[in-house]
Amino acid sequence: MFKKMIAAAGAKSPWIYHINTGSCNGCDIELVAVLTPRYDAERFGFKLAGTPRHADIVVVSGPVTSQSKERLIRTLEQVPEPKVVVTLGSCPKSGNVFKGSYSIECPVDKYTHVDVSIAGCTPKPEAIIEGLYTAAQILKEKRREMK
């Protein structure tokens, strides 16, 4: 009975955990802007989680640096299944302006499966909301498959 109640409540409020793997903070600022009253992504049920153990969706921003690689892998291991991984901006996918640096070890999909990529440097808030909404739909489908 409790499992049904928890599943029903969780289906309507995906929690997001954001991890910065070495970005310039442009994408981070846009993600925070999406959660403010102007864009109000919380109307779709999105909330920031304080720990990866409570998260459903992980948003990764920035190129994966040598220092952040192990932290990224450990963090993703802590997120319970089913989980959705979202990359935010161009850096997690290609390294963007940081590509070729001695300390860059991207792309993110080298270390985990990426479900949604939100393109741009920096992506527009509307694109971030659309990407998060897509991630929520993928999460819903993954939950359905687990039953």
Q: What is the pLDDT along the chain (147 residues), one digit of tens a residue?
A: 545 555 555 556 788 999 988 888 888 888 889 888 888 888 888 888 889 998 999 999 888 888 888 899 999 999 988 999 999 988 888 877 777 778 788 788 888 889 999 988 888 999 999 999 999 999 999 888 887
Cis peptide before 63 (omega within 30 of 0): no
Q: Quick one: pLDDT at residue 11?
A: 58
The rounded distance, in Å, linking the Cα atoms of 87 and 134 is 12
The rounded distance, in Å, linking the Cα atoms of 58 and 48 is 10
Q: Quick one: pLDDT at residue 109?
A: 85
Residue 82 CA: distances (Å) to CA of 15, 43, 111, 124? 12, 22, 17, 27
- Please name the helix (run of DSSP H) or strand (run of DSSP E) that holds residue 47, with its range, or none: strand 47-48
Q: Quick one: pLDDT at residue 3?
A: 58
Which residues on adjacent β-strands are paired with residue 60? 19, 87
Return all residues near 110 (Cβ < 8 A) that are at least 6 apart.
64
Q: Quick one: pLDDT at residue 38?
A: 87
Residue 80 CA: distances (Å) to CA of 10, 51, 136? 13, 11, 15
- Domains for the chain: give ranges and CATH numbers: 13-146 (3.40.50.12280)
**Contact of 22 with 68, CB cutoff 8 Å:** yes
pTM of the model: 0.85
Q: Quick one: pLDDT at residue 1?
A: 54
Q: Which amino acid is at 112?
A: T
Q: Quick one: pLDDT at residue 115?
A: 92
Q: What is the C-alpha R_g of the chain?
A: 15
**Contact of 60 with 108, CB cutoff 8 Å:** yes
